[in-house]
Structure 1
């Protein structure tokens, strides 16, 4: 169920808020991104509303309009103070936060969330929610956790078509904010049992050299569309989660695909993407495959 619904304008940057300090960080990040892109900002507050009961009578409590309206009004006021010319709309939704934000992603250019948060009526807005939204969103999802101002945008590349989309997103963002781009291709290969170390190491060197040329070719191809971006390529013999988490200490944004292959072997969100979301010290952008995910969860309206 939607209360006082103003649907997200097409192409809007959608931000989920819950009144917490971390959601305010997401709000300001989303507002700055919308202003940079020339897109409208759409503020969404989604929460589970349960009537308070006294015996057989409903106790007089705040309505969903009052609860959600207060949170959205505070968020709107905060944005107006920093970005007075930005087009902003707000929406209050009653229901589990993740499905509501996933629905909002259908019309959005981006969904932005805080790394963690909590609503006024129990339940978590982000945290587990951020991972659900990142998995099922129809558009890129940015989970705001911080980052190094002036640091590079870092993208994980694994050779899949899905990772190519993440590379394009990272290049556009790096160009827009005037940051360098660091492309990381990480793969960890253990020595096969019974194989002499010398033979295994020689094979590993050959494999990493071939991998370097393959990845370099793809990066150079895509980077031609953004000639002003300084691009650095790193090929690492390291687990991809560890590699990207290490990079996050000096990055302004980490970009990963929600689904991938290759060195990020079989990576649905739940392996590398989930690991990076959980452990990154910088904000993380999760980019879905072209056309969005194959399916999305249905939101349950618990008020009926």
Structure 2
């Protein structure tokens, strides 16, 4: 099933059965997110997918919680680490839809994919200003549990694309992409002046102290991403033709963080955590905002 949304010059398709993903997002006929190939069953080929109940990697798929060892499933192609939780691997329920908005829900956890039960919700809305996604995770377990979330949007890159954002720190990673050291943002790319992409080397790093705004300048269009979290993970392969600007509530492998490091968010029974992302666009040749 594909859902279609529209508002002003914006158009989007949603793929509830494929990881609750976004299939496309365009503004005035131009792709703002990388469009999903027709007929694909690969959620990694979609425009954007949600990350529940954790984002990015967990080293070797293992961590200790409340004195108990937890082993998460490791997907082929990502070994030896677990990645991105379970939400992107499941079909989502459509709770409501109209011309410009949809509400998706997933009841998950309490199984081999994640030990604790939770409800994940997505409110996906188009307005004249662009796309807004509101994520919520509710702890349905009887215990306080670790719980995080994020979004994984893919932005196409044209010739001369640039990414600008302001952040204080970046996590340096080992050879398996597990964070090892927190350094000044300039240790990789600080993006403060706008870095040309694709970069000289793979970027797959989490930035801390992000001010919640990122801007991608692509040909004649400027795309702005805003989120209410102080962390963003940037993924930009050298030959991928895209850049991912991923708002997240925690850094990779936060479940194995040392006591003196930023760790995984924890929520009480019945409590909720949330994240909002907004995407807007401006035609830089005409200097007109999205309408």
Q: Which has the higher contact order (CA 8 A, sep 6+)?
A: 1
Say which structure is richer in helix.
1
Instruction: Confirm or deny a common fold (TM above 0.5).
Output: no
Q: Structure 1 length as normaliser, TM-score?
A: 0.29
Larger radius of gyration: 1
TM-score, scaled to structure 2:
0.30
